[in-house]
C-alpha cells in the first residue's frame, strides 16, 4: 500500500463520515466504527436504548453507499424463509425457481434482531460468515459488498431471544450510539420538521469502490510484534478468572482486520498499538462471556477488557513501522 493510496483512502473515508454525520449528528466515533466495519467486510451489532438513533445510523450508511438496501423487522413469527428466500414451483415454466429474500442486498438492516426465534436467527449464520445462502442444496451468493447491521434494545427483554455466542462471534463489532451531547440535541430539535434526515442523503460512493477500499485495507502492514500483542490479549482473556469464554481465533482475525482498516482511515500504511487498544471494546465486548460469579459481583466486560490491556505491555511503536 503506497502513501498516495492511503491518503486517498483516508480522504474518501472522511468524506463518507461527513455525509453520514448530516443525518446522525455528533456521533463521529460510532460512525467511524460503522464504516470501519463495512470496509473490513464485517457486520455490526448496535445495542442501545430506544430513540438513540440506531436505525438512523444504519439507514444513513445505506444511503451513502450506492447499491441495494433492505430492512427486516425481526418479530417472533418471522420465518427463516422470510429472510433468506424460498424456492417456488412455477407452473408456466414447469420448474422450481428461487425467489431471493431481503437478505440479498448490499446493506441489510436487521431491526430488533433478538425478537426473532432462534430458528430464524440461525438463518443468518451461513450468510454472515460465507456470504451465501443455501436453499434446497443450492448455494446463492449475496454478492459484494455485503453487510448486516443489527439492532437490539438492552432494556426491554420481554418477548426476546438472547443471541447465542456463535452468532455474536459473527459480528465484527458491537457498539452503542449513545445520547447526543447538548449542542447536537439542540441542532436536532431545531430541525424537528425533518422527519427522516437519512432520506436527504445522496450516495457518495459506488459499491464497487467499497470492495476496492476493502482490498486496499488488506495491504496495510501489521508487524509481527503487533500480531503477538493481539495473541497475548486472546490468551489472557481465555484464562482471566472473571471470564467463562475468551477471545476465539475468529475474534483475533476480526481484530486484525479492523486494525488494518482503522490505520488506513488515519492515513497510515501500518498498524500501531494504539489502534489495537482503541478497537478493544467494540471488537471484544460481545465476544467475552462473564462468569456467573463475576456477574453477581457487578463486574462488567469493559472492566475486564481494561484489566487485560493493563496486564500486557504493548510493543514499542517503532516496531509497527
Mean pLDDT score, 245-257: 92
**Taking phi first (over 0 means left), then psi (-120 to 50 degrees means alpha), and beta for anything else, what does residue 26 get?**
left
For the chain, the average pLDDT equals 90
CB 153 within 8 A of CB 49: yes
Residue closest to 114 by CA, chosen among 149, 82, 83, 76:
76
pLDDT of residue 212: 94
Confidence of residue 154 (pLDDT cuts 50, 70, 90): confident
Confidence of residue 50 (pLDDT cuts 50, 70, 90): confident
Q: Which 3 state secondary structure label does DSSP give 138?
A: strand
C-alpha cell at position 73: 423487522
Q: Do domains 3-219 and 221-320 have the same CATH topology?
A: no
Q: Which 3 state secondary structure label does DSSP give 259?
A: helix
Strands 44-47 and 173-175: parallel
The answer, yes or no, to whether residue 321 has pLDDT greater than 70, is: no
Strands 85-90 and 69-73: unpaired
The answer, yes or no, to whether residue 272 has pLDDT greater than 80, is: yes
Residue closest to 321 by CA, chosen among 256, 289, 273:
273
Confidence of residue 317 (pLDDT cuts 50, 70, 90): low
Confidence of residue 320 (pLDDT cuts 50, 70, 90): very low
**Per-residue model confidence as pLDDT tens digits over 276-302:** 999 999 999 999 999 999 999 999 999
What is the DSSP code (8-state) at residue 314? Answer: P
Top-tier CATH class for 221-320: mainly alpha
The answer, yes or no, to whether residue 226 has pLDDT greater than 90, is: yes
pLDDT of residue 318: 47
The answer, yes or no, to whether residue 261 has pLDDT greater than 80, is: yes
Q: Which sign does the torsion angle of CA 149, 152, 154, 155 carry?
A: positive
The answer, yes or no, to whether residue 44 has pLDDT greater than 60, is: yes
DSSP per residue, 161-183:
-PPPHHHHTT-SEEE------HH
Strands 289-290 and 243-245: antiparallel
Stretch among 8-22, 23-37, 155-169, 196-210 having the lowest mean pLDDT: 155-169
Q: Which sign does the torsion angle of CA 268, 270, 274, 275 carry?
A: positive
- The domain made up of 3-219 has a fold known as Rossmann fold (3.40.50)
Domain boundaries, the chain: 3-219, 221-320
Stretch among 47-56, 110-119, 212-221 having the lowest mean pLDDT: 47-56
**Per-residue model confidence as pLDDT tens digits over 186-213:** 988 888 887 777 888 889 999 999 999 9
| Peptide bond between residue 145 and the one before it cis (omega within 30 degrees of 0) | yes
Residue closest to 100 by CA, chosen among 66, 113, 108:
108
Residue closest to 174 by CA, chosen among 84, 252, 288:
288
Confidence of residue 101 (pLDDT cuts 50, 70, 90): very high
Percent of the chain topping pLDDT 90: 63
Model confidence, pTM: 0.89
Amino acid at each position: 500500500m503506497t502513501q498516495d493510496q492511503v491518503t486517498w483512502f483516508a480522504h474518501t473515508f472522511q468524506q463518507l463520515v461527513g455525509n453520514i454525520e448530516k443525518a446522525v449528528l455528533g456521533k463521529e466515533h460510532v460512525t467511524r466504527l460503522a464504516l470501519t466495519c463495512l470496509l473490513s467486510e464485517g457486520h455490526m451489532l448496535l445495542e442501545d436504548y430506544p430513540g438513540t438513533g440506531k436505525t438512523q445510523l444504519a439507514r444513513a450508511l445505506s444511503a451513502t453507499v450506492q447499491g441495494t438496501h433492505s430492512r427486516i423487522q425481526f418479530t417472533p413469527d418471522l420465518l427463516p424463509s422470510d429472510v433468506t428466500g424460498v424456492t417456488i414451483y412455477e407452473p408456466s415454466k414447469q420448474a422450481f425457481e428461487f425467489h431471493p429474500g431481503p437478505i440479498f442486498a448490499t446493506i441489510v438492516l436487521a431491526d430488533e434482531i433478538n425478537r426473532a426465534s432462534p430458528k430464524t436467527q440461525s438463518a443468518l449464520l451461513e450468510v454472515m460468515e460465507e456470504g451465501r445462502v443455501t436453499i434446497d442444496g443450492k448455494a446463492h451468493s449475496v454478492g459484494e459488498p455485503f453487510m448486516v447491521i443489527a439492532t437490539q434494545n438492552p432494556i426491554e427483554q420481554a418477548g426476546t431471544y438472547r443471541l447465542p455466542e456463535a452468532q455474536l462471534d459473527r459480528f465484527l463489532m458491537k457498539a452503542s450510539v449513545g445520547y447526543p451531547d447538548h449542542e447536537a440535541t439542540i441542532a436536532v430539535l431545531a430541525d424537528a420538521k425533518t422527519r427522516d434526515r437519512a432520506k436527504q442523503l445522496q450516495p457518495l460512493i459506488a459499491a464497487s469502490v467499497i470492495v476496492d477500499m476493502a482490498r486496499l485495507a488488506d495491504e496495510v502492514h501489521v508487524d509481527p510484534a503487533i500480531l503477538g500483542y493481539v495473541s497475548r490479549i486472546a490468551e489472557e482473556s481465555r484464562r482471566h478468572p472473571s471470564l467463562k469464554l475468551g477471545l476465539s481465533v475468529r475474534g483475533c482475525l476480526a481484530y486484525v482486520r479492523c486494525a488494518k482498516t482503522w490505520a488506513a482511515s488515519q492515513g497510515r500504511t501500518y498498524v500501531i498499538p494504539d489502534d489495537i487498544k482503541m478497537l478493544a471494546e467494540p471488537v471484544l465486548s460481545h465476544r467475552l462471556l462473564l462468569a456467573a460469579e463475576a456477574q453477581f459481583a457487578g463486574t462488567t466486560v469493559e472492566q475486564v477488557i481494561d484489566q487485560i490491556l493493563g496486564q500486557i505491555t504493548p510493543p514499542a511503536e517503532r516496531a509497527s513501522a
